[in-house]
Amino acid sequence: YKRLLDIYSSNSKTVDALMKLELPSGVEVEIKV
């Protein structure tokens, strides 16, 4: 089960916010720049 989130015109604040998300165990996040 996957969810894809496309973010356009992102900046460093956006990436920092995504990296600091607290997710339940077993949930993986992959960020491609």
Count how many domains the chain has. 1
| Confidence (pTM) | 0.50
pLDDT of residue 7: 86
Q: Which residues contact 15 (CB under 8 A, 6 or more apart)?
A: 31, 33
Q: Per-residue pLDDT tens for 1-31?
A: 788 888 888 888 988 888 888 888 888 888 7
Domain that holds residue 5: 1-33
**How many residues are recorded in the chain?**
33
pLDDT of residue 13: 92
